[in-house]
A and B are shown apart, each in its own frame.
Chain A
Amino acid sequence: MRRNQVAVVGAAETTKLGVIPDVSQIQLHADAALNAIADAGLTIKDIDGFATAVEQPQQICHYLGITPTWVDNTSVGGCSFMIHVRHAAAAIEAGLCKTVLITHAESGKSNIGRTPRGVAPDSLNGQFELPYGVAGPPSMFTIPVLRYLKTHGITQEQMAMVSVVQREWAGKNPRATMKDPITVADVLNSRMIAYPMRILQCCLVTDGGGALILTSADRAKDFKTKPVYILGTGESVETPMVSQMETFNSSRAFKVAGPLAFQEAGITHKDVNHLMIYDAFAHLPLYGLGDLGFMPHEETGKFIADGNTRPGGKLPLNTNGGGLSYMHSGMYGMYALQESVRQMRGTAAAQVPNAKISVCHGVGGMFAASGTVIFTNQR
């Protein structure tokens, strides 16, 4: 795709984040959508393209009163929204629609009107993983960690710093769920979930949602918001079964999506001012730094432990506090995108001074899928 032809002109999260027992999942979609539409200065009738994951487009379009000429329901886990951005940019460039709304919402904590997710006993996951006692992401996403640490010579203490640094970012963010500072000892002494991962290395479980509005860059200049341009994008999938990844030492989906986005954007790693790497668990930023090519995997643990991704560090990472400390309603990719947009608009709670390029990298399932979006505020 061509660079900077499409821009984000509306972006918002649900009015409340965290525990929202008085709002259903579909209404969280609507709340986020209406907030984003107001942010863009549009009305619902201006939306002619729509994308979401888990829920079907007709559910949300009917609920909101949208008559689309283009829909996308790519649903590959938490990075679905990065992939929606990529697809929406292509659709807008191709003339299939003019103004795209992308929504995510999940009543992940309160379970109000939540779409059920299940594993059939005759699916491949049901036959070859479920009988061994896996029960959700904390018991599956974590299985590669010990191999990754051993291969790359990364210590558990270094990995614990991922949680410590992200809590430091969250402390600057009034909307973050967890704000109190923590230490490496706090992380390593917190309740064991799935050795080697403790509770402070696992994402939060919350309620919330978010929405984005995209249109052509030419139209974007007429909006009241500062346009945030799509500079480059990438996507891929690998396997629904974590046990069947090609290797636990890296993620194939990351290694396809990330470099595609960098290539399309025509930038090098030195050009990146701000980075989001979807952190469902504390090892994800390590994989991301390595697979996106910022450094060899062997250096990722030391890089974070040395403070390079902290406030004031040379590569600000997960500046909203991430899935570990900000919020995680089930598909966190939308919140990573929201933070990238805020950073590019200059409106983030923990703003990176003069940031011009933001890389937003997502994971779906247990390393099953990946989507990368590179934003800029310069055209």
Chain B
Amino acid sequence: MPEPQRARPKATPETKDFWDGVQAGELRLQKCNKCSKTYFPPRPFCPGCGHREVTSFKASGKGFLYSYVIHHRPVPGFTPPYSIAVVELEEGPRMMTNIVDCPQTPEALQLDMKVQVKFEKIDDKTTLPLFVPAKG
């Protein structure tokens, strides 16, 4: 039997554009054509006003560390301790992710520190938007 692996997301018709974007190295968000609200996760209408015309766009991939835990228990595909974080994107929405390429310690992971998206290829089919501490 193969070793249990990291959970893979499976796109739906409404989220396919987001995952296609990640595969292409773009973090895509959606914005309402009527009230201009930017939101996440993707859906083909605005959760602010219910308007059905929305536009997908490439986000900056920049944000800050809103909150996190450092998980110490075993999970398939992860080596504890590892961070599970929520970042707030420059455009407003928040998303869950992992902060990688830095020590997984409270000292290295400071709330409000700037972070930048890093597209991590998990396998041929799956790439995930992870985040790293922003340079400079």
Contact = CB atoms under 8 A, between A and B. Distances in A.
B13 to A, nearest CB: 10
A13 to B, nearest CB: 29
Interface in B35-68: 40-41, 66-68
Contacts of B11: 122, 127
Contacts of B12: 122, 127
B69 interface: yes
Contacts, number: 114
B86 A143 contact: yes
A147 B67 contact: yes
Contacts of B86: 143, 242-243, 248
B72 A193 contact: yes
A336 interface: no
A140 B67 CA distance: 11
A145 interface: yes
Contacts of A241: 41, 96
Nearest to A192: B72
Interface string A201-240: 0000000000000000000000000000000000000000
A143 B94 CA distance: 13
Contacts of B82: 133
Interface string A232-263: 00000000011110001000000000000000
Interface in B89-136: 94-98, 106, 111, 122, 126, 128
Contacts of A143: 67-69, 84-86, 96
Interface residues of A, number: 36
Nearest to A144: B67
A200 to B, nearest CB: 14
A72 to B, nearest CB: 28
Nearest to A134: B84
Contacts of A126: 7, 9-10
A110 B128 CA distance: 36
A243 B86 CA distance: 6
Contact of A128 (B41, B72, B75, B78): B41
Contact of A146 (B9, B68, B75): B68
Contacts of A145: 67, 69
Nearest to B79: A133
A197 interface: yes
A195 B71 CA distance: 7
Contacts of A124: 41
A139 interface: yes
Interface of B (DSSP majority class):
loop
A127 B9 contact: yes
A133 B6 contact: yes
A150 interface: yes
Nearest to A147: B67
A133 B84 contact: yes
A40 B81 CA distance: 51
Given A122-B10, A128-B41, A133 B71 contact: yes
Nearest to A248: B67
Nearest to B112: A150
A134 B78 CA distance: 10
Chain B: interface size category: 35 or more
Interface string A121-141: 110101111111111001110
A133 B98 CA distance: 8
A142 interface: yes
Nearest to A151: B111
A120 B67 CA distance: 25
A194 interface: yes
Contacts of B95: 128, 243
B9 A121 contact: yes
A150 B12 CA distance: 37
Nearest to A124: B41
A128 B22 CA distance: 12
B6 A131 contact: yes
Nearest to B122: A131
B33 interface: no
A347 to B, nearest CB: 39
Contacts of A129: 96
A241 B97 CA distance: 13
Nearest to A150: B111
Given A143-B84, A147-B111, A241-B41, 16 more contacts: A122-B11, A127-B15, A131-B7, A131-B122, A132-B128, A133-B77, A133-B84, A133-B98, A135-B71, A143-B68, A143-B85, A143-B96, A146-B67, A146-B68, A193-B71, A244-B94
21 contacts: A121-B7, A122-B11, A122-B12, A129-B96, A130-B7, A131-B9, A131-B128, A132-B85, A132-B97, A132-B128, A133-B71, A133-B78, A133-B82, A133-B98, A135-B73, A139-B71, A146-B69, A150-B111, A192-B72, A194-B71, A242-B86
